[in-house]
Structure 1
Amino acid sequence: MKCAICVNSRIETDAARDISYCTSCGLVIEESTIVSDVQFAQDTKGSSILQGQYVSTGDTKKLVSGKFITTNHITTIRGIAKSIGEALGIGESQINSAMRWYNLSLQFNFTKGRKTQVLLAACLYITCREEETPHMLVDFAYILRINVFKIGSIFLKLIRLLNITMPLVDPSLFVPRFCSKLNLNNQNVGKTALRLIARMDRDWIVIGRKPAGICGAAILISSRIHGTERTVEEVANVVKVCEATINKRLMELKETATANLSISEFNTIWLEKEEDPPIVKLRGKILNESFCNRIGHNEPNTADTVTNTPKIPTASNQNSLLSMNISEKDISNEKTKEWPSDSDESYIATPSSLPTPSQALLSTADTSAETYNYNNEYESDLSDCGIEVENDLLLSKEEVKEKERIWNVMYGDFLIERKKKEVKERKKEKKEKKKEKEREKIPLQDAVESAVKTKNLSSRINYAAIKNLFQQ
């Protein structure tokens, strides 16, 4: 070997610094040289083992997690991703982005124990979500012929591992695709469906629901408006949801103010009012049911029987109730002040509410006067109400029997279980009493004598005869 500058063959190698240089001009000819010597080592058994690996000159390799992944292997994986992308109409740029997600998962050893096709489908779906393309997770499952939940599970684990923030799916992206599959060539159908989706989004119907069901309901209504009607079954087969999901979205839209508009009003008028979120409606419904159960559904026949009746809360005024922090107990107490009954919880004493003997003695004088005045007021109220109101308040014997029969039918299983539990407890008490009696049979003197006696070493020897022998 000669120097390229001074054409001198005086070249020395410094093994410590791992370089080769010219001694005349100082040019570094080689650095980080690889030693091609064959080295051997001994294993635990004492035999010699060749160290290192043979690498072919025409192959380039890179080390990932302690294993050599060749470029041929990466090319094979890229070919699989390309075949999946071509089947779903995914572009080359999206496939390259998916391969970058795959390489990141490779560095975290996420590919271990997982099928390559499923992992590539999850990477492609991440790219589709980021670039907002009309592709659903069920499309990848249909192409690969696997369960959609397997891809979804790997997708969720991968975004947690790589800390990826996924944007929400916009249902309007799928409208042109579904319209073309349903042969709805009229552009007005798609425009009306997009307007319906925008209206449903303002009425809190889109958030928290699958976009396929929202698109199916919007396209179904739009096709009926423009005279190109499609059945619920046809739409469900295209959007890949069940018919019950589409019907449920239609029922939710029916409860909004948009359902009361005509077709011309819907196309020209944009309602500024938004519906309440579903959780607010649910709380209002529960509040209404509990309130009606407390005050009763039937109103009195006469107008003089009840005065200052509190207003039943509805979906429109429930926010005021929640903001004022008015509880259901306060509302029911205002009603029961005029109509006290035996079933009222406010007149039932509980162990925690009962006073101590000393407190009872101190408060006897005060409470006696109050109860006397209350009884007089209650009797005067009943006398003013008349016989008809008393008959409405009190149940007849037939009504009592019918009510008892209904209660037994509703809670018959509970009564049977309680009876079985009582029988088991009685058996346990009997067994415990028997054990206590058996223990009490042994007197104290016998127990002491049995403890003092020495244990015989053998049952075949008569120890009493031996004692008598020595006594003689």
Structure 2
Amino acid sequence: MSSSDRALINAFREINGMADRINLAKTIVDRANNLFKQVHDGKNLKGRSNDAISSACLYIACRQEGVPRTFKEICAVSKVSKKEIGRCFKLILKALETSVDLITTGDFMSRFCSNLSLPNMVQKAATHIARKAVELDIVPGRSPISVAAAAIYMASQASNDKRSQKEIGDIAGVADVTIRQSYKLMYPMAAQLFPADFKFATPIEDLPQM
């Protein structure tokens, strides 16, 4: 067996193992394998570790299959750093001239809220808040994940199921300060962001001010 074939087999095994640990479907594994093979055959990423390329391919496959995972989630089952996965991700997109659909705040909302054990009412409000904040251009240049996290923080603080920035940040894979920056932009417009039928346990004027 050539060293090239061996590298492919090892990478496919690695991708499969990572996908297994975060319960990803076989269609995602197949797509990630296919991406890895294209990169490998094109010798596009010489000098990058196969583990980093495998992780980045899995990240791209998730996005393209419509079930995005954060870099942090992929990193948790990978042998490489978030930074290295991010670097390979950019290089692969460039090398294959492929694109990934733009991530929206809604892609993460249900998973983050369920991991935080938040009720449906809070999830619906957070989804609404994030969408409105983007529509009204209150959060220009902020990443969808940080906007989603800030929206969850705002919705939970207005409910009986309050969650701290740290709790939300740990689940979303963003720093407290990142959530705080997005929340700060959203807070002055809070009255326009909540759904009309939201039942406030804590009124807007009593929400945390940063």
Q: TM-score, length-normalised on structure 2?
A: 0.84
Greater helix fraction, Structure 1 or Structure 2 = 2
Q: TM-score, length-normalised on structure 1?
A: 0.39
Change (3 A) 1:233 1:150: same
2:49 to 115, 138, 144: 115
Gaps of 5+ in 1: 1-60, 62-66, 270-472
- Which residue identity does 2:87 align to in structure 1? S
Change (3 A) 1:75 1:222: same
Change (3 A) 1:268 1:187: closer
Whole-angstrom distance in 1 between the partners of 2:31 and 2:143? 26
1:22-52: CA deviation from partner (whole Å, max 9, x where unpaired): xxxxxxxxxxxxxxxxxxxxxxxxxxxxxxx
- Higher RCO structure (Cα 8 Å, ≥6 apart): 2
Q: Is 1:253 the equivalent of 2:182?
A: no
Deviates more, 1:84-93 or 1:137-146: 137-146
1:110-135: CA deviation from partner (whole Å, max 9, x where unpaired): 35322111111111111112122130
2:66 to 118, 132, 145: 132
Q: CA RMSD in A?
A: 2.3
Find the residue that maps to 2:99 and give its secondary structure.
coil
Whole-angstrom distance in 2 between the partners of 1:88 and 1:200? 30
Q: Is 1:105 the equivalent of 2:39?
A: yes
**Aligned position for 2:129:** 196
Gaps of 5+ in 2: 199-210
Whole-angstrom distance in 1 between the partners of 2:182 and 2:72? 20
Greater strand fraction, Structure 1 or Structure 2 = 1
Whole-angstrom distance in 2 between the partners of 1:134 and 1:140? 10
**Matched positions, count:** 198
**Aligned position for 2:120:** 187
**Aligned position for 2:196:** 267
Q: How does 1:40-439 map to 2 (within 5 A)?
A: 69-70=4-5, 74-184=8-118, 186-256=119-189, 259-260=190-191, 266-268=195-197
1:144-197: CA deviation from partner (whole Å, max 9, x where unpaired): 24321111111111111111122211111111111121121x211111111111
Larger radius of gyration: 1
* Contact 2:139–2:186 (8 Å) recurs in 1: no
Whole-angstrom distance in 1 between the partners of 2:20 and 2:114? 19
Deviates more, 1:120-129 or 1:201-210: 201-210
Whole-angstrom distance in 1 between the partners of 2:144 and 2:44? 30
